[in-house]
């Protein structure tokens, strides 16, 4: 193993296992964002609840779907989508926002990626309270498949870790990456089956099957609805982990030393 690969491997090992540090960083950021607010991070959940109720009833009517079945589908999809998209967007400013820290101290940069994923996971569980209320009203199935939300969250979080590292590096070098990612995610939100069922696009299935964002959402949303995620989704998410980490590790090991100069 070359020295640069060894250094990158040590960085990843220390950064991801130092859960006390990235756990504190993530929690501190959540607290900082909602300092001096009355309900703190639940403002995000309240916004989500209003969005789900207001648009869910309208779209269920327009698309001739039962409100009782559509609201849980929409709420679970938005919770999963918010977790994925917000983590990706925040990863673009992950290193830039910590410029002073990176230039003054030596530490494992991968710890910053873990803290970004962790703080958005905290917000995910806050938003999950909205789904619990919707589920109490609409009664979607709760069964053995519901437990699959845990491995779904784990697989998605592992994917978001390499995405955060890769996009963080790219954005540090090319500041236009953040704008591009935000624009693409804004479009992807409407072409990914979040507001509509995958079966509604039966004439163009490639837009569903080739959309990796759909598979990241599916392994979380389907268990919340009491359904088993598609085997295709598990296959895509696992393959993304393997290929994504290989590419990111190579890029990270090559350019990690240049990060401070890019900032």
- Written as tens digits, the pLDDT of the chain (263 aa) is 688 888 888 889 988 888 888 888 888 888 787 776 666 667 778 888 888 888 888 888 877 788 888 999 999 999 999 999 999 999 999 999 888 888 888 888 999 999 999 999 999 998 999 999 999 989 888 899 999 999 999 999 999 999 999 999 999 999 899 999 999 999 999 889 998 888 877 777 777 888 999 999 999 999 999 999 999 999 999 999 999 999 999 999 999 888 888 97
Domain limits for position 235: 3-262
Residues 6 or more apart whose Cβ sits within 8 Å of residue 217: 77, 80, 81, 84, 192, 193, 194
What does the DSSP 8-state code read for residue 38? S
Q: How many distinct structural domains can be found in the chain? A: 1
Please check whether residue 192 is in contact with residue 81, taking contact to mean a CB–CB distance below 8 angstroms.
yes
Please check whether residue 83 is in contact with residue 121, taking contact to mean a CB–CB distance below 8 angstroms.
yes
Cα separation of 209 and 137, whole Å? 32
pTM for the full predicted model: 0.93
């Amino acid at each position: 193993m070359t020295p640069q690969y060894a250094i990158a491997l040590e960085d990843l090992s220390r950064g991801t296992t130092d859960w006390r540090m990235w756990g504190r960083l993530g929690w501190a950021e959540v607290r900082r964002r909602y300092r001096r607010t009355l309900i703190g991070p639940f403002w995000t959940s309240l916004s989500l609840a209003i969005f789900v109720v207001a648009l869910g009833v309208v779209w269920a009517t327009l698309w001739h779907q039962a409100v009782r079945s559509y609201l849980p589908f929409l709420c679970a999809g938005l919770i999963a989508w918010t977790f994925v998209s917000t983590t990706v967007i925040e990863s673009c400013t992950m290193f830039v926002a910590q410029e002073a820290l990176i230039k003054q101290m030596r530490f494992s940069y991968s710890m910053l990626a873990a803290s970004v994923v962790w703080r958005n996971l905290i917000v995910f569980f806050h938003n999950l309270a909205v789904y619990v209320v919707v589920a109490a009203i609409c009664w979607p199935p709760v069964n053995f498949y519901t437990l699959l939300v845990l491995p779904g969250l784990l697989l998605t979080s592992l994917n978001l870790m390499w995405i955060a590292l890769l996009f963080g590096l790219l954005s540090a070098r090319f500041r236009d990456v953040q704008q591009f990612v935000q624009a693409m995610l804004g479009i992807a939100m409407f072409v990914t089956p979040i507001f509509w069922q995958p079966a509604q696009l039966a004439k163009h299935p490639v837009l569903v099957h080739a959309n990796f964002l759909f598979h990241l959402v599916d392994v979380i949303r389907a268990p919340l609805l009491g359904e088993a995620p598609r085997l295709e989704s598990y296959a895509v998410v696992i393959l993304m982990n393997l290929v994504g980490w290989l590419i990111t590790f190579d890029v990270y090991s090559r350019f990690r030393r240049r990060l401070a100069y890019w900032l």
